Structure 1
Amino acid sequence: MTTADTDLDRRRDLYLKGMPYGLLGVATLLSAATAGLIMPTAAIRIAAAGLVVAALVFQLWWSWISRTRPGPNWISATYYTVRWAIGFALTVLNPFFAFYAVAGYFDTDELIPAQRWKRLALFACSIPVAGAQTSGIPVEDSTKWIVFAGLLLANNVLLTVVRHFADQEEERSRARAATIAELQQAHEENAALQAQLLIQAREAGIADERRRLAAEIHDTIAQGLTGIIAQLQVVAKTADPAAAREHVNRATDLARHSLGEARRSVQNLAPVGLSYDGLPEAMRKTVDQWAERTGVRAEFTLTGPAQHLHGEVSATLLRITQEALANVAKHAAATRVGVTLSYMDDEVTLDVRDDGKGFDPMTLPTRTGTGGFGLDGMRARAERIAGSLSVESEPGSGTAVSARVPLVLHG
Structure 2
Amino acid sequence: MREDRLRSAMRWGFLLLLAASASRYVAYHGGGAATVGVLALAGVLLAAYAVNELGRFAPGVRFAAVIVAFLALVLVAPSFAWCAIPLFFLGLRQLPQRAVWPLVGLLTAAVVIAQIRLADRFDPSLLLGPVGIAAITTTVFLELDRQNRARQRALDDLLATRDELNRSQHEAGALAERARLSREIHDTLAQGLSSMNLLLQAADQEWDTEPTQARGHVRQASATARENLAEARRFVRGLASPALDNASLTDALRRLCAATERDTGTPVRFTVAGTVVPLGVDNEITLLRVAQSALANVRRHAHAHRTAVTLTYGDEEVMLDVYDDGTGFDPTVTSGFGLTGIRERIAHLGGTVTIESAPGEGTALAVSLPLREAR
Paired residues of 2:25 and 2:35 also in contact (CA < 8 A): yes
Q: In structure 2, what residue type is equivalent to 1:167?
A: R
Larger CA deviation: 327-336 vs 167-176: 327-336
What is the CA deviation profile of residues 169-191 of structure 1, one whole-angstrom value per residue up to 9, with x for unaligned ones?
A: 11220332244235425534664
Q: In structure 1, what residue type is equivalent to 2:312?
A: A
Per-residue deviation, 1:224? 4.3
Question: CA separation in 2, counterparts of 1:138 and 1:151?
Answer: 15
Of 62, 68, 71, the residue aligned with 1:85 is 71
Question: CA separation in 2, counterparts of 1:299 and 1:180?
Answer: 44
Question: CA separation in 2, counterparts of 1:398 and 1:208?
Answer: 16
Residue 6 of structure 2 is aligned to residue 23 of structure 1: no
Residues 84 and 54 of structure 1: CA distance in aligned 2, closer, same or farther (over 3 Å): closer
Instruction: Give 2:263's aligned residue.
Output: none
Of 369, 372, 375, the residue aligned with 1:400 is 369
Paired residues of 1:334 and 1:354 also in contact (CA < 8 A): yes
Structure 2, unaligned runs of 5 or more = 255-271, 296-306, 324-328, 355-365
Residue pairs, 1:335-350, within 5 angstroms:
335=313
Residues 292 and 59 of structure 1: CA distance in aligned 2, closer, same or farther (over 3 Å): same
Residues 290 and 273 of structure 1: CA distance in aligned 2, closer, same or farther (over 3 Å): farther
**TM-score, normalising length from structure 1?**
0.57
Instruction: Give 2:276's aligned residue.
Output: 297
Any idea what SS the aligned residue of 2:351 has?
A: strand
Paired residues of 1:297 and 1:335 also in contact (CA < 8 A): yes
Paired residues of 1:287 and 1:298 also in contact (CA < 8 A): no
Of 163, 166, 175, the residue aligned with 1:184 is 163
**Aligned residue pairs, count:** 322
Residue 74 of structure 2 is aligned to residue 108 of structure 1: no
Any idea what SS the aligned residue of 1:53 has?
A: helix
Instruction: Give 1:119's aligned residue.
Output: 101
Instruction: Give 2:300's aligned residue.
Output: none
Residue 220 of structure 2 is aligned to residue 260 of structure 1: yes
Per-residue deviation, 1:298? 4.7
Residue pairs, 1:27-46, within 5 angstroms:
27-31=17-21, 34=24, 39=28, 45-46=35-36
Residues 254 and 287 of structure 1: CA distance in aligned 2, closer, same or farther (over 3 Å): same
Instruction: Give 1:236's aligned residue.
Output: none
Paired residues of 2:311 and 2:321 also in contact (CA < 8 A): yes
Residues 365 and 301 of structure 1: CA distance in aligned 2, closer, same or farther (over 3 Å): same
Residue 10 of structure 2 is aligned to residue 57 of structure 1: no
Residue 127 of structure 2 is aligned to residue 141 of structure 1: no
Residues 202 and 335 of structure 1: CA distance in aligned 2, closer, same or farther (over 3 Å): closer
Any idea what SS the aligned residue of 1:107 has?
A: helix
Per-residue deviation, 1:160? 0.5
Instruction: Give 1:369's aligned residue.
Output: 336
Structure 1, unaligned runs of 5 or more = 1-7, 232-250, 303-313, 339-352, 403-411
Per-residue deviation, 1:282? 5.7
Question: CA separation in 2, counterparts of 1:182 and 1:378?
Answer: 35
Q: In structure 1, what residue type is equivalent to 2:337?
A: T
What is the CA deviation profile of residues 82-118 of structure 1, one whole-angstrom value per residue up to 9, with x for unaligned ones?
A: 2442564477225xx51x3222233326643x43112
Residue 76 of structure 2 is aligned to residue 76 of structure 1: no
What is the CA deviation profile of residues 329-350 of structure 1, one whole-angstrom value per residue up to 9, with x for unaligned ones?
A: 9633324799xxxxxxxxxxxx
Q: In structure 1, what residue type is equivalent to 2:78?
A: V
Instruction: Give 1:226's aligned residue.
Output: 205
Residues 136 and 76 of structure 1: CA distance in aligned 2, closer, same or farther (over 3 Å): same
